[in-house]
Amino acid sequence: MSGSALFRPTFTDLRAEVERRMSNDASPETIAVLIDEFLAAGGDTPAPLIEYDGAVTWLFRSSTAQSVSVVGDVLGYRPDQTRMTRLPGSDLFYLTTYLPLDAHIAYAFAFDAPETAARTRWIDRCLPDPLNSQRMIMTSPLRMMSVLEMPGAAPLVAGFDACAETPMFAGAHVVWSAATGCWRRVWVYLPPGYDPATRRYPAVYLLDGEAYLLSAELPLLLDLLIDAQEMSPVIAVLIEPPPLRASFAMVTSFVVDDVVPWIDARYATSHDPIDRIIGGADENATRALMIALQRPDVFGGALAQSPQLPSVRRIAALLERHHAHGGDASRCYVDVGRYDEPAAIEVTQALCNALLSGGAAVSYQEFAGGRSFAGWRVTLPDALRFHFGTSSLASLG
């Protein structure tokens, strides 16, 4: 929002003026001009309007929509609970809600979404906010959403928004999954100065790689962290999500038996499990964590962003078995949004306690957001520093 926006009329002023003019039989054209002038006073980002107490007013203009709702993480995906109100005599819809002053959220506008419709039937038709230029790509389904950073929100890595460099890619590949009987895409990132003749590199494998590629912009983030010497150079392997029919055993087999050997045969990766980390977000965080604990001979740790709780008893048994065989302690990064459901925070803390009790090294944090990449991309640098930070570099061989 531009500096001049500090002196603009409030939305309350606009609403009162519209109501006053409507009582005097003002024409729709007159009301439209008044709204145009109000939005123009907001500069490049005229909405959402944020007040000092955390009140946020969302604005959207449509002359054809019967109903409009604001949906997203923290706000939720129940259109019936976040319906906007049309300002009388205008094409302007509005909704005022209260958000924590440190929150990062992703949101979009849903049009005429039936109260009983399944989320998958309308969410891919949602539109980002035309009045807010900050956007990010979301996957499953593929869509564009707007990003709102409240005044006290933690900043992204320095240079993230301004960097114009193109990260180095080895390209997109396809790898055959013997377990599921289909091909899956795999994107490979190579660090700046990649030199297979002189060193072997640690690697991070991320499930739902397309989301980390598009939503988190992981290659750019890695370039910035490596350039700032905040982490060692790594190879990133971004794996397309498995088919919906795939069981956990199928996913594990694909990653361990197909992808890892395929990568090791083509790139200068370290073959030491301590230099291999597997990660993911949401349900893929759980999969990544369980793969790391079940196969410590392949992965030395996990990066789990907002995991769904697996069996704590199962985790304890895996760690006990690993410890009995004299294995190194698993290194696990775990986070959760503090504006997620309270139950999600409780089970994540229970998960961390189980990991610690089993001898794992754990880094845990709560971030100011919900269950989406609007928050996960903010904490992702901490996860990468924990596993690959320059203060505790893995041996590069």
Out of 117, 149, 181, pick the residue that ends a domain.
Answer: 149
Are residues 73 and 114 located together in one domain of the fold?
yes
154 within a domain of the structure (yes/no) = no
Question: Which pLDDT score, from 0 to 100, does residue 1 have?
Answer: 34
Residue 17 sits in a domain whose CATH number is 2.60.40.10
Tally of domains in the chain: 2
Q: Give the residue numbers spanning the domain of 115.
A: 3-149
pTM summary value: 0.86
CA distance 327 to 330: 8
Does some domain include residue 161? Answer: no
Which pLDDT tens digits describe the chain residue by residue (397 residues)? 333 334 567 888 899 999 899 888 888 889 999 999 999 888 888 889 998 889 999 999 998 989 999 999 999 988 989 999 999 889 999 999 999 999 999 999 998 876 655 555 778 788 999 999 999 988 888 889 999 999 999 888 766 665 545 555 567 899 999 888 899 999 999 999 999 999 999 999 999 999 999 999 999 999 999 999 999 999 999 999 888 788 999 999 999 999 999 999 999 999 999 999 999 999 999 999 999 999 999 999 999 999 987 666 677 777 777 666 666 678 999 999 999 999 999 989 988 998 998 889 999 999 999 999 999 999 999 999 999 997 654 443 3
> 158: burial class by Cβ within 10 Å (0-12, 13-18, 19+)?
exposed
DSSP H or E segment with residue 302? strand 301-305
CATH label of the domain that carries residue 203: 3.40.50.1820
One domain for residues 241 and 344: yes
Q: Is 376:334 a contact under the CB 8 Å cutoff?
A: no
Contacts of 222 (CB under 8 A, 6+ apart): 167, 189, 191, 231, 234, 236, 384
pLDDT of residue 302: 96
Bridge partners of residue 105, in order along the sequence = 148
Co-location of 123 and 230 in the same domain:
no
Same domain for 56 and 90: yes
Strands 104-111 and 68-72, by their bridges, are antiparallel
